[in-house]
Every structure is written in structure tokens, then in C-alpha cells.
Structure 1
Amino acid sequence: MAKILVTGGAGYIGSHTCLELLNTGHDVVVLDNLSNSSVESLNRVQQLAQKSLKFVEGDIRDSQILDRIFQENTIDAVIHFAGLKAVGESQQIPLAYFDNNIAGSISLVQAMERAQVFKLVFSSSATVYDEANISPLNEEMPTGMPSNNYGYTKLIVEQILEKLAIADTRWSIALLRYFNPVGAHKSGQIGEDPRGIPNNLMPYVTQVAVGRREKLSIFGNDYNTVDGTGVRDYIHVVDLANAHLCALNNRLTSQGCRAWNIGTGNGSSVLQVKNTFEQVNGINIAFEFVSRREGDVATSFADNKRAIEELGWAPQYGLEDMLADSWKWQKQNPHGYG
């Protein structure tokens, strides 16, 4: 089995991926600066896996820490999650996003090159697609200029990695374009624990359910959709984690740079998510409609055929599983890891 460096491995998607890596026999080294995560997530990952991983607290922009990790560990490949991810915040402090997400990624691949490690799985986003594209979105569709700085950083890093792989054929890079990760590990031990006010629908719903927030704000009810609310492709975080393992296996034996959508291929509206959450978990969610958010599109869901055919991956969990697991995590951890 391989030894994998996971940047941002203490975060929501990173922690679930570390667990799946350990469960399949890989050795894991995590680098995380804990700016938006908790080391408690990694303690729980190790308890669940009944295996240990190596944790280094540090920043991907710190080349000395990166060099030390590569010198002290025989790393076979890197899964790169580390970065800032709040859409609204990215509009307020763009330079922090450019520095963390773009400069940080360059710093990482420079260190990889120095260490002669050329296998990389990059955590990208469906926000890189041109908003004029009609769903289902497939990987042949043009990317566009994202309306927010978070999406912009993902697009720029994708382009940098594509050009890197063309210039130097030693590189083998997977670009995983996530849709909307939700859910939690079925144990309820690890899950999504956003700092401050959640940016995403699911933690907001569960925080209302657990009494941390008064009501859910639904942005816009006048979209051209089934019920006027925005439609998104929600993917269970465990399915997403397993997609990283499939992409890793693919890249360990191939070259070049390739993008894959990671979604279920189905869209659900915000109201459908809220109503299904209520039915599955027997809880009412107070809500109000507020005006649309700038930059939100009406409908976005994946064509996931390429991932199914090329990676041998397929989503295993439906919306009801996602919503039951999200609630189990929040109910057992009303204040997250705090």
C-alpha cells in the first residue's frame, strides 16, 4: 500500500478521506494548519480505523515544513484539500484566498517536484464550469469565470496543474470537481463542523434542528425550478472520500492531468432537502425565504458518467442517507468538535 500526504486532512472532506485511506491499508500523513478544522477529527478518525496516522501542524505555504515532511516520509502521492472555502468570505478578503489557495498550491507542487513526487489528487469544484452551461454538467463543457473568488482560485489552480502536466510528463494529476458534499460518517463521530455561520445548506439545517440557529434562510424562491428554490447535486461525503481513493489508484498508474465530476447525477431543490430532512428525522425546520444570493445559478447537477466509467466509482448513498447521517452527527455533537 501507499503512503499518502493529505493536506487539509483535518477538515470535513479530508478527515473522511483519511478514514477511508486507513481502512484500505494506506499510510497517512496529514498536514493541516487547523485554521478551519480541529485535531479532534483526526483523533476520532484513528479511533474509528483503529490505526494511527501522522499529523503535522503547519501550512502548505511553508516550504521548510513541506521539505521536512518529504524528507522524513517516503510519500507516494498527495491528496490536496488545504485551502479556504467560504464563498462569501472570498469576496471580502480576496487576497487571503489568492494566497492560501493559489500560492499555497504552487508552494505544494514545488515541494513535490523537489521531492520527486508527481502523483496528485486535487480538490476542485463544480464552480469552475461556465454558468451558461446547462445541467447535467460534463467535463467536456467549457469552464468559465466564476462569479466568486473561491471558485476563481479553483479554476486558476486547475489551469496551473494542467499546464504543469503538459510541460512535464512525469506528473499525473486528478482534478476532482465536487458538487455539494453533505452527510457524515455513519458512526456520527466525524462530520462537518464549520466555524461561525455555515455557508452551506446542510450544516445550517442541522444547526436549526439542534437549536443552535432560529431558522433556515432559503435564498430565492423564484428560480425556474420544480418549486422555485435552487437545485443542487448533493453527494454523500463518504462517497466523495471513496472517489479520492479511486482517483488515487487511477493516477498511480497513469500520466497527464484529467478532470472528473464527483456528484450523484441528480438534483434536489432546497425545499426538497428541507422536507426530506423533516420526514427522515421527524423534526420540523423553521425557515423563511429571503432574496437570492449574488452568483447563485438556478440548477447545477453532474453528469458523472466519466467517473463511473474511468475510475470504477459510483455513489452508494441517496439523499435520505445523507440527511439521516448529517443529523446523527449533529445530534451526537451539538457543538461540533468543540
Structure 2
Amino acid sequence: MAILVTGGLGYIGSHTVVELLNNGFEVVIIDDLSNSEKFILKNIEEITKKKPVFYPFDLKRKELLTQVFDAHKIDGCINFAASKAVGESQLKPIDYYENNLFSLINILQEFKERRLSSFIFSSSCTVYGQADTMPIDENTPLRMPESVYGKTKQMGEEILIDFAKAYHRKISLLRYFNPIGAHPSGKIGELPIGVPNNLVPYVMQTAAGIREKLSIWGNDYDTEDGTAVRDYIYVVDLAKAHVAALQRLMNDPSDETLIDIYNLGTGKGSSVLEVIKAFELANNVTVPYQICERREGDITIAYANPYKAEKELNWKSETSLEEALRTVWQWQKYLESRKV
């Protein structure tokens, strides 16, 4: 079966492509390389000994997207294509709405016209905003997200739910918490272009001396140590959840509408300071940091109740925070070796 993976050379996309190939799927990747680099494709081939088809273009170019669907018998799609930086989304709201929603709508137009189903959407726990109670399960009420990025994810979900109901299709909305880590091979990982927006890549680059200090955005949150708390999930565990969700959609025998929603996390929250200390301990390095004012769009605390995914997908996050952070340092060493 051929699966279209949009944003398939990005961070989570590349790890999911590896898991799809390892599970016998054929993969067609579309990625405009705005947040990745071409060498990731070569490394996916080295890891899996298989070669996915790759098209380098922006999904907003609908005529090129149509050509891909004409050229391949697509059986399903996993859509990762989106701009994803919370801080940047506040500064460039129109760019985020255009990129994250127009690309999704273009894919769904092809799905509608070709009567395709089995669509997985890369969503986010940001759709819950700041939840009143922890852990967050799938019945937690959605709130207006704090960031434009979160709003695009919530709008994307609404578009997909309407699509599934109107055309009797099968979709899965996967609400990730905070993906971290790299592939055990050290050949693919999170590759921030420019200054990192996410915590762990900034920790990695600070430990490597690329950044002078890590900025901690606020230490006056209502948490144990004053820094924000998140649920950090190992990216390979997360990638495996996508394969499980896809198999569930494809193996469903009914012709009825199916809308699956899953929270993907570990069920445990860790503060920014806890992540820094765990990284230092796992890799025997020092991470200098400074406390800054809170960043607009950030919430205080979020961690998952992953029970539904464990029950229905037979999936569970199995990798500890320290193990995941060890792979981050291996990835950094690989990146350094490429410059020699």
C-alpha cells in the first residue's frame, strides 16, 4: 500500500517514514524542505535499505499535488506539513494560517475527488489550551489555544471532522504532546533551521557550544520549580503510534464514518529545569541557562492521559526521558561529523 507522507523529511515525518517502510508500506513523500534538508532522505534510505519516492514542492501548489495523485495509487495520507513554532506563529499569523490550512484543504480536495479515505492528521495538545485538570484525556474540553499555531491545529481538526462526516471517510487526529529525541542510528533527528524554537534542540545546541546560553521563558509559573511543565515523548515511540493508527483505519471493515482522536504522550509531566538536568546527567555535559520573561503563547502545564491510545491502538510510550535525551546528543555528534 502506498502512503502519502506530507512533510515527510521533517522531524516527526522522517521518523514515521522509517517506521512505515519497516512495516512494509510504500511511501511517497512531499516536502518543500522549508524545515529540513535533502540529506535526511539519503539517511532514511540508509536506515531502512528502502527508497521512498520524493517530491520537493510546496503543497499550496495544487497543480503539482494533483500530478502526484495521478502518478501514484495513494491508499492513505499522514499529513505533517505545517509550520510549527509557537513564538513565530505569533509574529507571522497570516503566514501560519495560509501554510497550515491551505495545504490541508488541497490534500482533502484530492481525497474527495478520488474517493480516498484513511487520513491521519498531525495535531497537537495545544488544542486544549490551558486545561483545568491533569492529566488531559480526549474528553477534556477544547479551549481557544494560546497561540496562532495552536489555532491552526484546532481549525485543521474541525475541517477534517466536517470532511469525514460529509463524505463518510475515516480519519485519525493524533494530538501529540512534546516530541523529543532522535533515531537510535543517530542519522535523523530534529533539525531546526536557524535558532531553535523548541526546548530540547536549544538545550542540545547550548551544550555543544553553538548557543551561549539557554533561555528559560519564565520561572514564575505555578509549578514545583516555577518552570513550565510538559509531557516529553520519544519521537520513535510517537512514530510507531502513527503506524498503529493507520493500520486501525485501513483494517476497519465498515463503510461508515470513523473519527479517531488520540492523545499521544507518556502520562508524565517534566519541567524545563528537570529536562535540563536530565540532559546533563544522561550525556555528562553542562547546559548554561538564563531566566527570561515568559513567552507569549506558552501555557503552564500539560501532560497526557494516553490510556485510549494504549487500549485501542495497542501502543504505549516505552522510552524514558533520559534515554530519549541520550539520542539527542548522538544526533548532535552526527551533525558535527558532517561538517568535518
Compute the TM-score of the two structures, normalised by the length of structure 1. Answer: 0.96
Check whether the contact 2:30–2:54 (CA below 8 A) recurs between aligned residues: yes
Residue identity (%): 47
Check whether the contact 1:40–1:337 (CA below 8 A) recurs between aligned residues: no
Counterpart selection for 1:205 from 203, 206, 209: 203
- Return the letter of the residue paired with 1:253: N
Query: 1:337 and 1:152 mapped to 2: Cα distance?
Result: 38
The alpha-carbon deviation at position 337 of structure 1 amounts to: 9.0
Q: Where does the alignment leave 5 or more consecutive residues of structure 2 unmatched? A: none
Query: 1:71 and 1:242 mapped to 2: Cα distance?
Result: 29
Query: 2:57 and 2:35 mapped to 1: Cα distance?
Result: 13
The alpha-carbon deviation at position 164 of structure 1 amounts to: 1.3
Match of 2:325 in 1: 323
Query: 1:173 and 1:211 mapped to 2: Cα distance?
Result: 43
DSSP-derived class of the 1:181 partner: strand
DSSP-derived class of the 1:77 partner: strand
Check whether the contact 1:67–1:115 (CA below 8 A) recurs between aligned residues: no
Query: 2:2 and 2:190 mapped to 1: Cα distance?
Result: 25
The alpha-carbon deviation at position 227 of structure 1 amounts to: 1.2
2:218 aligned with 1:220: yes
The alpha-carbon deviation at position 273 of structure 1 amounts to: 0.7
Query: 2:258 and 2:100 mapped to 1: Cα distance?
Result: 22
Query: 2:94 and 2:36 mapped to 1: Cα distance?
Result: 21
The alpha-carbon deviation at position 108 of structure 1 amounts to: 0.8
2:165 aligned with 1:163: no
* CA deviation map 1:92-117 (0-9, x unaligned): 11111111111111111001222222
Task: Please give the residue correspondences for 1:21-40 in structure 2 after superposition, counting only pairs within 5 Å.
Answer: 21-40=20-39
Match of 1:284 in 2: 286
* CA deviation map 1:251-308 (0-9, x unaligned): 1133421210010000011111111111111001101111111232221100000100
Query: 1:150 and 1:228 mapped to 2: Cα distance?
Result: 24
Query: 1:215 and 1:131 mapped to 2: Cα distance?
Result: 28
Check whether the contact 2:130–2:300 (CA below 8 A) recurs between aligned residues: no
Check whether the contact 2:129–2:299 (CA below 8 A) recurs between aligned residues: no
Check whether the contact 1:83–1:101 (CA below 8 A) recurs between aligned residues: yes
Query: 1:141 and 1:228 mapped to 2: Cα distance?
Result: 25
Check whether the contact 1:4–1:26 (CA below 8 A) recurs between aligned residues: yes
Check whether the contact 2:3–2:77 (CA below 8 A) recurs between aligned residues: yes
The alpha-carbon deviation at position 133 of structure 1 amounts to: 2.8
DSSP-derived class of the 1:303 partner: coil
* Structural RMSD (CA): 1.4
Check whether the contact 1:210–1:334 (CA below 8 A) recurs between aligned residues: no
Runs of 4+ in 1 over 6 A off after TM superposition: 335-338
The alpha-carbon deviation at position 335 of structure 1 amounts to: 8.5
* CA deviation map 1:140-176 (0-9, x unaligned): 111111111111000001011111111121x100000
Query: 2:118 and 2:191 mapped to 1: Cα distance?
Result: 29
- Return the letter of the residue paired with 2:332: Q
Query: 2:297 and 2:52 mapped to 1: Cα distance?
Result: 39
The alpha-carbon deviation at position 132 of structure 1 amounts to: 3.8
2:175 aligned with 1:177: yes
Task: Please give the residue correspondences for 1:141-152 in structure 2 after superposition, counting only pairs within 5 Å.
Answer: 141-152=140-151
- Return the letter of the residue paired with 1:62: R
Check whether the contact 1:277–1:324 (CA below 8 A) recurs between aligned residues: yes
2:187 aligned with 1:189: yes
Aligned pairs, number: 336
